[in-house]
Amino acid sequence: MFGIVRNVGLAVPSRLNAPLIRPSVLRSLYVGLRKNVIHDHEHFSTQSSLFNLNHKKYENPFKGKFNNEKLNKQLDKTLDKTKHLTSDVYHKSLEFKDKSKQLTTKTLEKSYEKSQEFKSELQDKSKEISKNIKRILPKDFHENIYTLPNFLTLTRLISAPVVGYLILHGQISWALSLFTYSCITDFVDGYIARKWNLQSVIGSVIDPLADKALMIISTACMASTGGIPLYMAALILGRDVAMTIGAFVIRYVTLPAPKTLGRYFDFSLVTVQVHPTMVSKVNTGLQMLYIGCMVIKPVFLMYFDGGASVTQLFLNSLQYLEWTVAATTLWSGLSYAFSRNAIKVISKP
């Protein structure tokens, strides 16, 4: 307890005229000082953000209780030092609080400014990268696909499965009629495209595709009904399947990034131009003639009575036609594989 009193500036003399101060009195003095400090701190903390100790004076609880004037002065000095010390500590704490608040505000402002600068730089870099990517990647080439030749080609493509259905169900006359329509429109759409300059890259792709669809379906259906030999069906179908797989692979390889499913089947986005070879055109015509003759063969043998010689001539002609179609089928497949001008990749519009 004497140590506490010495820390606040109270020196207790060893010899005084008045009797010595008892420890219980010093304890009461300490408790009274502490209560006054706590009371003023709570009062000014709730009433105002500024703590002003001049608003209320510390009172000596033992004032007038000691006859020793020197001891009373020492107690008053101790109270004054306690008041100033408490005031300094509290004001220092307020100053530290204000400085901490200011420092936190400045730190947050700097962090926000830095984040905005980083965001702006990131956006600028992203735009620059996007521009560079667009410069590197080739531009897409779109063309008008809504033309009459393309429409006729599309009808041929749709009629192919219908022809196969009619062949399987023995409706030879309807199958032959629709097959003849496909052969005629194959010539008409090409004539219109060349005459009125309606040629398109997509037309150069779907035109042979429609021919191959008609040939594949008709050949498969005729082979299943015994209308054509199996080796002939395997030769025609094998060539067309190989060319179809090659077309899908070439489309994927030549498609510019990004390679998405929507862009892959966007036929207005042209990447490859196909130029049919002369032997392929001849082979297509011969295949159509061969399939048409094989479709009409049962009807001819059943209803046409021209004698044995005419019938034998017809059958021999079909045999020679079959061998010719087989040879040109092999030749046309090899022409697409080794010809440099058959397939042209479009890199620029």
Instruction: Specify the pLDDT at position 16.
Output: 41
Instruction: Specify the pLDDT at position 60.
Output: 56
Instruction: Specify the pLDDT at position 66.
Output: 59
Strand locations in the chain, DSSP E?
272-274, 343-345
Q: Could you report the average pLDDT of every consecutive run of 10 residues in the chain (349 residues)?
A: 40 43 54 52 44 47 62 74 78 83 85 85 85 66 77 92 91 88 88 85 81 87 90 89 84 82 77 79 87 85 74 89 92 81 65
Q: Which CATH number applies to 148-345: 3.40.50, 3.30.1050, 2.60.40, 1.20.120?
A: 1.20.120
Alpha helix (H) residue ranges in 23-68: 23-47
Instruction: Specify the pLDDT at position 78.
Output: 77
Residues ≥6 apart with Cβ < 8 Å to 166: 172, 174, 175, 178
User: For residue 68, which phi and psi values (nearest 5 degrees)?
Assistant: -85, 115
R_g of the chain, CA atoms, integer Å: 53
Say if CB 301 and CB 311 are below 8 A apart: yes
Instruction: Specify the pLDDT at position 67.
Output: 63
Residue-range domain boundaries for the chain: 2-100, 148-345
Instruction: Specify the pLDDT at position 48.
Output: 43
Residues ≥6 apart with Cβ < 8 Å to 230: 223
The Cα 297–Cα 315 span in angstroms is 9
Query: Whose structure tokens read 């011969």?
Result: 286
Q: Could you tell me the sign of the dihedral formed by the alpha carbons of 29, 30, 36, 37, in that order?
A: positive
